[in-house]
Amino acid sequence: MRTDNVVAIDVKDRVRNAAEAVAAEDLDGYVGCFREKQRSKLRRQAAILFVTHEVGLELLDSQLMSDQDRKAEIAVKYRATLSADSWEIVSLIDLVREDDDWRIAGEQVRTRAAVGRCGPRGCSSGPVFRFGGGDAVFNPGGDGLPADIGRRPEGGCANGRCGLPR
C-alpha cells in the first residue's frame, strides 16, 4: 500500500458519494459511482427500489485496507434503511480505477445486524440495500427486493413483507 493518503481520501470519497446519493435517492449520482459495465443493471434495480420504498444509506465508518495501482479495498460499516427497516452492515468494497477515477466494482458483506426491523406487518430479516456489487443482492425476477428474502410460490415474498405478483 502506498504511504500517501491521496488514494485513501479518493476511495473514501467515492464510497461516501455513493452513500449520499442513496440517501438523496439520486439515481444518476449513485449509478455513476460504479464501473461502466455495471451501470445499466444497477440503474434498473435502484430505480425500482427508489420509487417503491423510502431508502437510506448512512456511512458510519471506513478504513482503507489495500491499494495497488488500479485496485483498492475498503472496509465499511453503514446503516441501510428500506422503509421502516434498518440494518447495520459491515462489508468489504472493491474499487478499481476507471477513467482516472475510482469506481465501485463489488462488495462482500461480512456481517449484518437488524437495528429496527419490525413494522406493522411483523418482522423481517436480511439486508435490503447494499452498495450494489454482486449478482445475489437483488432478486433476478425484477421485483426490486433482495435475493435473500424468500418468495411465496404464488408470488410476492415471505415474512409478510409484501405481496407483489410475479
DSSP run (H or E) holding 23: helix 6-23
In Å, how far are 47, 78, 83, 116, 131 from 104, measured between CA atoms? 18, 15, 25, 27, 8
Instruction: Note whether residue 75 is domain-resident.
Output: yes
**Which CATH number belongs to the domain containing residue 83 in this structure?**
3.10.450.50
Instruction: Note whether residue 109 is domain-resident.
Output: yes
User: What CA–CA distance (Å, rounded) separates 38 from 60?
Assistant: 25
* Overall domain count for the chain: 1
148 grid coordinates:
435473500
Domain of residue 115: give its range: 6-123
Tens-place pLDDT, residues 102-146: 999 999 999 888 886 544 444 454 444 555 544 444 444 555 555
pLDDT on residue 116: 62
If we measure between CA atoms, which residue out of 105, 68, 151, 134 comes closest to residue 162? 151
Helices (H), 32-153: 36-52
More confident residue, 116 or 14: 14
pLDDT on residue 22: 94
Instruction: Note whether residue 132 is domain-resident.
Output: no
